[in-house]
Amino acid sequence: MDGLTRYAASDLHAFVVHALTAAGASQEDARLVADGLVAADLRGVHSHGVTRTAIYVRRLQRGSINPSAVLSVVHDAGPVVVVDAQGGFGIAMATRAMDLALARAREHGVGFAGVRNSNHCGMLAHLAMRASAQGMIGLAMSNADAQVAPWGARVKYLGTNPMAIAVPAGEEPPLVLDMATSIVPHQRIKMAAARGETIPMDWGIDRDGRPADDPRQVLDGGAILPFGGPKGSGLSLMIDILAGLLTGAVSGPEIIPLYEHLDRVQGVGHLLAAISVAAFGPPQQFTGRVERLAREVRALPPREGHDRVYLPGEIEHLRALEYAMRGIPLPADIEAELRTLGTALGIPALARIEEP
């Protein structure tokens, strides 16, 4: 027992759809957003799960998420398409953009969809895995509002700027790298502050550039740090260029923070890409080699302090299998947030799973 209350994924999905449609979203947008949020909770990435429902509702009510938005093509160059999200739900618009990239990859061998004028698009693994589920390699990048100090700076300028890559692996689960270029996601800092917890000293700095274990000091004039010093900082900058500047989206400090100025579209940019394995040769040959590589890496002797070797995304995959059977355990503060939101929107309370 983990001490947390569990909920069926289908019930959480229905709750998110109900909440978003009650606030004015279309049924289809609400479904796509719920798909992304619940997928994150299934993988244990609660910072990008149903906890985001409330801020999406508030942004929808305040007008910064456009419920009538459609994905509009502004430039079409065969395998490369640039689209305008028209201020719609980031998850819904990024999902449609990835599907567009997949269609172009089937035709050209590779497909890129650059998205501008969007909002927060959730867990990027959800987008990249749309490609691996079809036997292709998926890549997803997004810039984000400024929360991270570039290497050597003491003020925030870059976003957490995540990226994900999903690779099909035959009979093995897909290999999925999903990472922020900050040492932790911004939401992890917010959740620690809300719970009155301290954070590791290498997660962020205060307004004077000094390491801070108080998340409130990081949020109030301080900054999150990039992972790996100059490596994470450089990668974050490149993602901002690819997802923001290249696509025609806004960049760095120009992006509206998710929890501020709720009446203004964030202006986030995404870059979604799909690579057809078949364009390089027989797909089974490639996936068979990836499958063999995965098994060889997993079989390597573990070092001290590790029970076994895990592949990228494997822990999340195993967690998703468990949570799909036993239910998703939600932290108490997320439970409370959903209860408050449900009461405000007149939605019945979620049914808990009673474990034996």
- Provide, rounded to the nearest whole percent, the portion of the chain with pLDDT above 90: 95
1-62+314-356 to CATH, choices 3.90.320.10, 1.10.357.10, 1.10.1530.10, 3.30.465.10: 1.10.1530.10
Residue 105 structure tokens: 């990859």
- Nearest Cα neighbor of 158 from 231, 84, 211, 235 is 235
Q: Which CATH class is domain 183-225?
A: alpha beta
Q: In this structure, are residues 26 and 345 in contact, taking their beta carbons and an 8 Å threshold? A: no
State both tokens at 245: 């500047």
Tokens, residue 206: 């205060």
pLDDT of the residue at 356? 53
Q: Is the pTM of this model over 0.85?
A: yes
pLDDT at 354: 72
Residue-wise DSSP of 194-221: HTT----TTSEE-TTS-B-S-HHHHHTT
In this structure, which amino acid lies at residue 354?
E
pLDDT of 1 reads 40
Residue the block writes with tokens 């036993």: 326
Q: Give me the pLDDT at residue 226, please.
A: 97
CATH 1.10.1530.10 domain position(s) in the chain: 1-62+314-356
Look at residue 123 in the predicted model and tell me its pLDDT: 98
Residue-level pLDDT at 216: 95
Architecture of domain 68-180+227-299: 2-Layer Sandwich (3.30)
% of the chain beyond a pLDDT of 70 = 99
> Half-sphere exposure of 223 toward its Cβ, with a 13 Å CA cutoff?
26
Complete edge-to-edge strand list for the sheet that includes strand 72-77: 72-77, 80-84, 110-118, 268-275, 137-142, 163-169, 172-179
Q: How confident is the model at residue 165 (pLDDT cuts 50, 70, 90)?
A: very high
Alpha-helical (H) ranges within the chain are: 9-22, 27-42, 53-62, 90-108, 124-132, 186-194, 215-219, 230-240, 283-298, 314-326, 332-345
pLDDT at 333 over 70: yes
Q: Is residue 355 scored above 70 in pLDDT?
A: no
pLDDT on residue 211: 95
| pLDDT above 60 (res 60) | yes
The residue-averaged pLDDT of 34-54 equals: 97
Tens-place pLDDT, residues 269-290: 999 999 999 999 999 999 999 9
pLDDT (0 to 100) of residue 4: 84
Where do you find CATH 3.30.60.50 in the chain? 183-225
As annotated, the residues of the chain forming the CATH 3.30.1370.60 domain(s) are 68-180+227-299
pLDDT at 2: 64
More confident residue, 349 or 88: 88
Query: How far, CA to CA in Å, does 133 sit from each of 80, 108, 152, 238?
Result: 21, 19, 40, 27
Mean pLDDT of the chain: 96
**How many of the other CB atoms lie within 10 Å of CB of 334?**
21
